[in-house]
Amino acid sequence: KVWQARSEVPTPEYLFFMDILMTTIRNEVASCVEKSYLSLPFDDAKSVLFFSSLDELLKFAQEHQWTVSPSDKRITFKSAVEDTRLFQGENIMKQALSYAQELERIV
């Protein structure tokens, strides 16, 4: 809707604000796409990020340090940092086992 509203602004002065809004929306969508997908075909990424040309998409991908594969026609997103909660779970299990051993010695 926002993209369509860009062509229906009351005066040309509003285009400045619409461009800022579109950049913000595009960056938020890009952030979500990075976390949701390992990679996307060029056409899908271009559509999701509201680009009209492949050159715009490739420039945006370069700015976000995404890996572009022209032979596969795909963009691969940088991998997310590993979730540290997995390692915290291992520590909790070790502590629980340690407590169980202590209780066993007491009893």
What gap in Å lies between CA 2 and CA 18, rounded to an integer?
8
Closest CA relative to residue 42, chosen from 70, 8, 11, 77 = 70
The pLDDT value recorded for residue 87 is 58
**What's the pLDDT tens digit per position in 89-100?**
777 888 888 888
pTM: 0.65
Structure tokens belonging to residue 64: 């976000």
Which run of H or E residues covers position 41? strand 39-41
As a 3-state breakdown, the chain gives helix, strand, coil percent values, each rounded to 5, of 65, 10, 25
What gap in Å lies between CA 38 and CA 40, rounded to an integer?
7
What gap in Å lies between CA 5 and CA 18, rounded to an integer?
8
- Average confidence (pLDDT) per 10 residues, the chain, 107 residues: 71 83 90 90 92 93 92 85 58 82 80
